[in-house]
Homo-oligomer: A and B are copies of this chain.
Amino acid sequence: MDSPIIVVNFKSFTEGMGGRADLIARAAREVGAESGVIIAVAPVSTELHRIVRHFPIPVYAQHVDGVGPGAFTGHTTAQELQLAGVRGTLINHSERRLTLAAVEAGIRSCRALGLETIVCTNNDATTGAAAAMGPTCVAIEPPELIGSGISVAKADPGIISRSVDVVRTVNPEVKVLTGAGIHSGECVRIARDLGTNGVLLASSVVKAQDPAAVLRDLVSQL
């Protein structure tokens, strides 16, 4: 069975930049080594290269534009991400929605350069659509759970299990992450019990006074 994965999205949080980015990356390395759980980080684009060089952990970008190389000012290309040394990228996060064509172009441009893709989706229909395009992973962010403080354990788990089912039907090679409602080790265990490979989360780690302690709690029931 696949080993569990935790992806920590630093977003544009002050608490996830500069020295704090290093601190969280170090915590990810330590807790990952202790637990055997893969703990990845997704810093802002200007800090990707530094985090990749200093920390032997999987690093993801937060976004890719499926264009270029070429005359594309202010875009983030797969080529640029490959040069920065990341393992892959988030695509279509709820805070950075892309057109259907751009999601597909992003997946394709990353695949061509050996980069992984984690496509964020909002329900089982868009999860099926994303899976049909063959990304590495789909991360389901039920809108009612995003930033709500509600645990996926307490909410209706149907959207997660239906999404797992639809991915298995459409393209069983695509992995699934639970992308919202994760606050504790119990949430992570439930996300795994519902059939997802791991979790994508942000503020509960990034804004924590002691990110390592939060990460230890998150892996505690695996």
Contacts and interface: CB of A to CB of B under 8 A. Distances in A.
Interface of A: 9, 11-14, 17-18, 42, 44-50, 62-63, 67-77, 79-81, 83-84, 90, 92-104, 107-108, 121-123, 125-126, 128-134, 147, 166, 170, 202-203
Q: How many copies of this chain?
A: 4
Contacts of A133: 125-126, 128-129
Contact of A104 (B11, B81, B125): B125
24 contacts: A13-B69, A44-B76, A44-B80, A46-B46, A46-B81, A47-B80, A49-B50, A62-B73, A73-B95, A74-B76, A74-B93, A74-B95, A97-B99, A99-B99, A100-B129, A101-B126, A104-B122, A104-B123, A104-B125, A104-B126, A125-B134, A128-B133, A129-B130, A132-B132
Nearest to A67: B12
A94 B14 CA distance: 27
Contact of A129 (B11, B48, B132): B132
B11 A72 contact: yes
